[in-house]
Amino acid sequence: MKAILKLIFFVFILSNITYSQQINFNACHSLLDGDDYVFEQINIVNGRAVFQTVADPAMGSRDCNGIGFCTLQILWSDGNNRWEIIADDGNGGFSNTFVLYYNTENSQPIPPGLTLGTWEEATTVTQSLCGTINTLEGSVLSTNQNTIDNQIIIHPNPVRDELFIDGLEPESNILVVVYDVLGKEVFYQKSAESIDVSNFKKGIYFLKLTLDEKALTKKVIIK
């Protein structure tokens, strides 16, 4: 019984860590009434996070221009090979969705912000009623990564024992963080030039490097 209670407690803590990340959104006033929306991470699909507006109206979900209680998601579409901001089918479900905006930047595991790629209005759906996004912010959004993408090499990948990070400038003070597929942080260190992964479980992980507000995320396979 004690072991079961400990497991339940661990799952509760992990759930809070995994789903506590938020994104703030404001756009498309003609359809969304100009209100602010708050997204929380609800899932990981094929290594990418899925965010959805929270259920509590006081926290950000709002009526959609009098046509119903609006639920929005930010997720990666494998079929369209892009990130999308979508509205529900009018009944809180997503069997039929309406795309409001899309971004073809292939960021992983989290969606791009306004500084990475370009968010385009899905005019065939919105009939050009939305315009540009006013606010899309949150600490979990991918930021512009070009300044470090070309200079850093991660190897070997797949990796068994030690992962090396080449191309770092001396005393660069870069932040190195590794997440598992559930978004749980499993490694955190500044200026790490290598990571001992020999005790990590086999599977897919995401290595995030942050330097001077620029970020780079790489998928790493541990075998």
Of the candidates 113, 137, 161, which is a domain's last residue? 137
Quote the pTM value: 0.59
User: Given this model, what pLDDT does residue 19 score?
Assistant: 37
- The tally of domains found in the chain comes to 2
pLDDT in tens, 73-130: 999 999 999 999 999 877 777 888 899 999 999 887 889 999 888 999 999 999 999 9
Q: Does 153 share its domain with 98?
A: no
Would you put residue 54 in left (φ > 0), alpha (ψ -120 to 50) or beta? beta
Q: Does 163 share its domain with 128?
A: no
Residue 66 has pLDDT above 60, yes or no: no
Cα-Cα-Cα-Cα torsion 32, 114, 56, 77, nearest 10 degrees, comes to 90
Q: Does 108 share its domain with 173?
A: no
φ, ψ of residue 179 in degrees (nearest 5): -120, 150
Which residues touch 130 (CB under 8 Å, ≥6 apart)? 27, 28, 30, 31, 100, 101, 121
Of the candidates 137, 163, 196, which is a domain's last residue? 137
Residue 36 has pLDDT above 90, yes or no: no
Query: What is the residue range of 207's domain?
Result: 146-222
Max distance between CA atoms of the chain, in angstroms, equals: 58
User: Given this model, what pLDDT does residue 96 score?
Assistant: 83
Q: Does 202 share its domain with 116?
A: no
Residue 214 has pLDDT above 80, yes or no: no
Structure tokens at 190: 């500044």
